[in-house]
Amino acid sequence: MSAEKMGLQDWFKTPPGRYLLAWERAQFDSTVADIFGYHALQLGLPELDALSANRMPHRWLAMSTCPHPATPTGPNPTRAALMTDFAALPFPANSLDLVVLAHALELNVDPHATLREVERVLVPEGRVVISGLNPASLWGLRQRRARLYRRFGAGELFLPEAGDAIGYWRMRDWLRLLSFEVEVGRFGCYRPAVASEKWLQRFEWMDRAGQRWWPILGAVYFLVAVKRVRGMRLVGPAWKTVPSRAGAPVSVTNLTHKE
C-alpha cells in the first residue's frame, strides 16, 4: 500500500515508521521520567505510550476518536483513555503538570487552538513535550517533490497525505507567543527517505554523522517547553505579627529629700 493511502497510524507500521517511532520512544522515555507531579496527559497516537516511563499517579490518553473511551489502553494499565476535542479538554485551568503531544498538532485541523488549550490546562511551571515531522529534512524534501510530480500524474508520496508538518522554528515561535520557554530542542532520524528495512540499516551511519554535521535536518524534532507566568511570585504564609508593647513612659519627678 502506498503512503498516500495510509493514515499516520498505518504508516508507523512500515520500516521507516518503526524507525522513527523507536527514536521518539527513547526521547519520551528519557524525558518524562524526570518530570514530577500528579496529573499527566497524552494527546493522540496510542501506538506510542509516551507516558510509560512517567511516575505520576494520574495519567490519561486523550483521543479525538476512540471506540472504547473508558477502557485503559496500551501496556500501561494506569493510562486511562478518553475521547475529547483537543481544543476543549475536559480539565480545569491550571490542573495538569505534563502534556505530551506526539504528532498531535500536525494532524489537528486547528493546531493553534490545541496549543492554547494545552497552555490553559497546564499549571504554572508545567511542561509540554512535543514531537513532529521536520519539513526541512530529506524526508520532507522527498514529500514536497512527490507532491509536485503528482500534478503531472507521477510520483508517489513517502509520508501520509493526512496532516501538515509544522516547522521547528515556527513551533518555537508559537510556544513563545503563549509564554512558554523552550528547555530542550533536538532532532533525530537522519537516514534518507527509503522504504525498505535493508536500506535503512545500510544508512545507519548517517544518524551519527547527522548529529554532528547537519543537526537541524533530522526527519523529526523533539521539544520540551515550560509554562511561564509573567509576574508570578511565590507567596509565603501570612504570619501574624503581634506588635510588641512599648514600654510605658515613666514620669520623672524631683524628689525632695529631708535632711
* Domain CATH number, residue 89: 3.40.50.150
Q: 145 phi and psi, to 5 degrees?
A: -65, -40
Looking at residue 258, what is its pLDDT?
A: 47
**pLDDT > 80? residue 152:** no
Grid coordinates of 13:
507500521
Q: In this predicted structure, what is the pLDDT of residue 128?
A: 98
What pLDDT sits at residue 232? Answer: 58
Q: Based on the structure, what is the number of domains in the chain?
A: 1
pLDDT of residue 154: 63
Asked if residue 139 is part of any domain, the answer here is: yes
Average pLDDT over the chain, rounded to whole? 83
108 falls within a domain: yes
Residue 252 lies in a domain: no
Q: In this structure, is residue 133 part of a structural domain?
A: yes
Of 76, 71, 55, 133, residue with least CA distance to 101: 133
Instruction: Provide mean pLDDT across the span 11-25.
Output: 92
Backbone torsions φ then ψ of 178, nearest 5 degrees = -95, 15
Instruction: Identify whether 247 is part of a domain.
Output: no
- Residue 251 in any domain: the answer is no
Overall pTM > 0.85: no
Q: Which domain holds residue 223?
A: 3-227
Q: Tell me, yes or no, whether 44 lies in a domain.
A: yes
pLDDT classification of 50: cutoffs 50, 70, 90: very high
pLDDT for 235? 55
156 within a domain of the structure (yes/no):
yes
Instruction: Name beta bridge partners: 236.
Output: none
